[in-house]
Chain A
Amino acid sequence: MGQLKITIALILAILLQWTLRNVAEPFAYIDFPLIIVVYAALQRDVLKAIFFGSFAGLAVDALSGGLLGSNGFSKTLIAYAVSELARRVYMDNLLLRIPVIAGACLLDDLIYYGMHKLLGQEPVGQVIIVIAYTLIGTTIAGTFIYLMLDSTLVERRGNKKRDMFPTRRQTRRRNPIRFTK
């Protein structure tokens, strides 16, 4: 059920990315699909994360003036990097996830920009400003979305925590000093 919810969240994120810029320009600075891809990667489901990365990237590229596959490339790489990180470091804490989403956003922008430069394309706008705004927007939105997703998938998270840290069997303590007979 949790898997289905994340998939629905990804589809919603793609739809929001497609439509929100036409409602208000500042929404373009939030990378909704990246937030969900990183969230999936943090669940240690690496296969799902990389497929999500490729699919979401291609879906965004398809309606963009940029190169087809550039978002797919960067998001696949980010998904793999984050799931490798999540495999080695325990990151089920929201505070630890904030720098992860910020770092992922920065890396995603740099890869996206670098790939376009490599293939002779010049994206619009000033690089530093666009990266800075995207970093701020995506990190703030990501924090709230993770809170929402965690509250929605709380049951699954509780199960996972129980699996990872099973309750220790309480041994019966015996008091070696007996005051009574």
Chain B
Amino acid sequence: MAERSQKEVWRLTPWLVIVLLLGNFLLMAFDARQLTSGQRIIRVWSQTVADFVQSPVTTISSAVSGYFGSISNLRSAQSENDLLKKRVQEQEVEIKGNEDLTAENARLRSLLDLKAKSKIEILTAQIIGRDPSIWFDSSIVNRGSLEGVKLNMPVVANGGLVGRVTAVSPLTAQIDLITRDKSGLGAIVGEIGASNVLGVVSGTSKKDLVEMRYVSGSVDVQVGQIVYTSGQDGIYPAGLKVGEIVEVRTGSATVPHQIFIRPSSGISSMQEVAILLYEPPVRTEFEQKLPNALTETKKPAGSRP
């Protein structure tokens, strides 16, 4: 009797395997088709469950590494202290100058009757989890929808752009980095207003390098120049630092430059990030009706109200 049931199991198994493989394949195909829009509910649930494990583990591990780190740093503390004292004195002078400039700016603005430029609110977050698969490099932070985090909100660290929020649970959020090959953002070489070298920055599948494309080969671009977001992609605000140009493969009048940028955010070593609670402005009706514009169902959530 037992032998027969074992045979039945072995007869049933290939069909079960086919069903499971098909299910997984459909899930993959669905995810690949709508990778940039919305989020899968399974990700939200998993993140919520994982948070109860990831947060304590991160807290303990960072406390332990911090303890040993502080012991090893004790040796250089004296010289560092002297250097910092000197730097504080310099910065006090600088702050005084800045205060004067701010007051002057406010006075001039009131004279010109300009509205104050709205500031973007920032939410600091700690990275509590990294991508469990070595093939990808997304991160999970300890801020979620309860604190106002929404899909596609930009994330920065160390003064540079890191990526955007791609999944939000009540307590956590997943961040996709700009180094991912499917990422893309509008960028400009040099400060906005001082330059007109526009292009698109996308990932190269290398952990510390992104590529700027579609920059006309007839414009002058140098290694060492800084690249900022242009704000034209409908996700990132203008003026965020992307990184520094490390290589330029010069194009021609008909062939665009190939520009490689090292992100300034220190993606591989970051432990804390800042989420910009920024929602892009509403696009005009005309732009929404462009042939290549995203439809209502496919649009990135959070990009429009």
Which of B20, B136, B166 is A76 in contact with, Cβ under 8 Å? B20
A contacts, CB < 8 Å to B = 15, 17-19, 21-23, 25, 28-29, 46-47, 50-51, 53-54, 57-73, 76-77, 80, 83, 87, 112-113, 115-116, 119-125, 130, 133-134
- B292 → A minimal CB distance (Å): 18
Contact call B10/A46, Cβ cutoff below 8 A: yes
Which of A28, A80, A122 is B13 in contact with, Cβ under 8 Å? A80
Contact call A69/B28, Cβ cutoff below 8 A: yes
- Beyond A63-B47, A73-B21, whether A120 also contacts B134 by CB under 8 A is no
- A143 → B minimal CB distance (Å): 20
In the complex, A113→B170 CA distance in Å? 31
Contact call B24/A63, Cβ cutoff below 8 A: no
Contact call B134/A134, Cβ cutoff below 8 A: yes
Closest residue of A by beta carbon distance from B207? A124
In the complex, A124→B42 CA distance in Å? 23
B299 proximal to A (CB < 8 A): no
Contact call A125/B21, Cβ cutoff below 8 A: no
> Which among B9, B13, B131, B206 has the highest number of chain A CB atoms within 10 Å?
B131
**What 0/1 readout, one digit per residue, does chain B (20-49) give for beta carbons within 8 Å of chain A?**
110111111111100100001011011100
Closest residue of A by beta carbon distance from B133? A64
Size of B's binding interface in residues, CB under 8 A: 54
Contact call B29/A119, Cβ cutoff below 8 A: yes
Question: Which residues on the A side are within 8 Å of B101 (C-beta)?
Answer: none
Contact call B135/A54, Cβ cutoff below 8 A: no
B contacts, CB < 8 Å to A = 9-10, 13-14, 16-17, 20-21, 23-32, 35, 40, 42-43, 45-47, 50, 53-54, 57-58, 61, 127-138, 140, 166, 174, 176, 179-182, 205-207
- Can you name 7 extra interface pairs (CB under 8 A) apart from A58-B42, A80-B14? A22-B128, A57-B24, A62-B42, A64-B136, A65-B136, A67-B31, A124-B137
Question: Which residues on the B side are within 8 Å of A50 (C-beta)?
Answer: 13, 16-17, 20
Contact call B135/A119, Cβ cutoff below 8 A: no
- The binding surface of chain A is classed by DSSP as helix
Closest residue of A by beta carbon distance from B58? A22
Question: Which residues on the B side are within 8 Å of A83 (C-beta)?
Answer: 13
Question: Which residues on the A side are within 8 Å of B61 (C-beta)?
Answer: 22-23
- B73 → A minimal CB distance (Å): 19
Contact call B13/A47, Cβ cutoff below 8 A: yes
> Which among B13, B20, B128 has the highest number of chain A CB atoms within 10 Å?
B20
- Beyond A18-B53, A19-B57, whether A72 also contacts B133 by CB under 8 A is no
In the complex, A69→B28 CA distance in Å? 5
Contact call B180/A19, Cβ cutoff below 8 A: no
- B270 → A minimal CB distance (Å): 12
Contact call B32/A67, Cβ cutoff below 8 A: yes
Contact call A65/B57, Cβ cutoff below 8 A: no
Contact call A66/B135, Cβ cutoff below 8 A: yes
In the complex, A122→B129 CA distance in Å? 22
- B286 → A minimal CB distance (Å): 30
Which of B17, B25, B32, B43 is A120 in contact with, Cβ under 8 Å? B32
In the complex, A15→B51 CA distance in Å? 11
List 19 contacting pairs A-B, 8 Å CB cutoff, sorted by A. Answer: A17-B132, A19-B58, A21-B129, A22-B57, A23-B61, A46-B13, A50-B17, A62-B40, A63-B50, A65-B138, A67-B28, A68-B40, A69-B26, A72-B24, A73-B25, A76-B20, A124-B136, A124-B137, A124-B181
- B241 → A minimal CB distance (Å): 22
In the complex, A17→B53 CA distance in Å? 11
- B83 → A minimal CB distance (Å): 30
Contact call A29/B28, Cβ cutoff below 8 A: no
- B264 → A minimal CB distance (Å): 19
Which of A21, A112, A123 is B130 in contact with, Cβ under 8 Å? A21
Contact call A15/B53, Cβ cutoff below 8 A: yes
In the complex, A134→B23 CA distance in Å? 26
Contact call B132/A124, Cβ cutoff below 8 A: no
In the complex, A134→B132 CA distance in Å? 13
